[in-house]
Copies of this chain bind each other. A is one copy, B any other.
């Protein structure tokens, strides 16, 4: 395991103040001196960790956004699949979990660093998702007023049932992710879908592959 990977784990578990360089070195399988050789001090190491995580997470999110169903066959199933991929590949994986925790934990201590994240992360990914929704709406699959609002509400809905787990830093099981996404997408489509389908519930299988 690389030094920054090991450091990410320790910083997440112990917080910045509680993180021990000796422990990081041990988990990385190198000597303490090597840690200091590569990264001048604890703070520089921390910054390197956040930058690394932000970069990797963003790459994953954009790769997943590229799989957005622009020409859906079954709109409900396709959106559920997209939501599940987004969660499993970007938010629930190791990088996503770590980055989320570091932002929550140390966000106030490094305003510039996390302002940067905010711009590069939600500031770029949310509009990208909104654009995909706008396209679907333009194609006649939706009736939405504001694509940006719709995108944020989509994310809020498909994660609605995972909040408590995220709070405690846990990782939801795959079936919980699928369940939350399924319920969220159904509500989303009841609100914005073309046919205001009544209570009728169709049976669909979520495609959870990458």
Q: Which residues 126-181 of A have a CB within 8 angstroms of B?
A: 143, 145-146, 149, 152-153, 155-157, 159-161, 163-164, 167-169
- Minimal beta-carbon separation of A192 from chain B (angstroms): 7
Binary contact track A97-139/B, C-beta < 8 Å → 1, others 0: 0001101110110000010001000100000000000000000
Q: Does A14 contact B (CB under 8 A)?
A: yes
* B-side contacts of A168, CB under 8 Å: 103-104, 107-108, 114, 118
Query: Quick check: A161 and B169 within 8 Å, CB to CB?
Result: no
Q: How large is the interface on A (under 10, 10 to 19, 20 to 34, 35 or more residues)?
A: 35 or more
Chain B nearest CB from A2 CB (Å) reads 23
Known contacts A18-B17, A168-B103: does B156 contact A159 (CB below 8 Å)? Answer: yes
- CB-nearest residue of chain B relative to A197? B196
Q: A18-B17, A145-B199, A183-B149 are in contact. Are A163 and B169 (CB under 8 A)?
A: no
A residues within 8 Å of B by Cβ?
13-18, 100-101, 103-105, 107-108, 114, 118, 122, 143, 145-146, 149, 152-153, 155-157, 159-161, 163-164, 167-169, 183-184, 187-188, 190-192, 196, 198-199, 201
Q: What are 7 A-to-B residue pairs whose CB atoms are below 8 Å?
A: A14-B17, A15-B18, A149-B160, A153-B157, A155-B163, A187-B191, A190-B190
**Lowest 10 A-B CB distances belong to which pairs?**
A17-B18, A156-B160, A191-B191, A15-B15, A190-B191, A156-B156, A107-B168, A196-B196, A17-B17, A104-B104
